[in-house]
Amino acid sequence: PASRPETKYEQRGVRLGHQVYDIIARRRP
């Protein structure tokens, strides 16, 4: 998704967090 919520992933690693968030978002319908 274009907009990603700022979470713990943002603090630890933006790239890693975005990848994980994208995977979760893709699994959602």
Average pLDDT in the chain: 70
Confidence of residue 23 (pLDDT cuts 50, 70, 90): confident
- The boundaries of the domain holding residue 20 are 1-29
C-alpha span between 13 and 29 (Å, rounded): 26
Amino acid 2: pLDDT: 56
**16 near 7, Cβ under 8 Å?**
no
Amino acid 4: pLDDT: 64
Confidence of residue 22 (pLDDT cuts 50, 70, 90): confident
pLDDT (tens digit, 9 = 90+) per residue, 7-16?
665 566 666 6
C-alpha span between 15 and 25 (Å, rounded): 15
Q: Please give the tally of structural domains in the chain.
A: 1
At 20, which amino acid appears?
A: V
Q: Note the pTM of the prediction, 2 decimals.
A: 0.34
**In the chain, count of helices (H) and strands (E)?**
2, 0
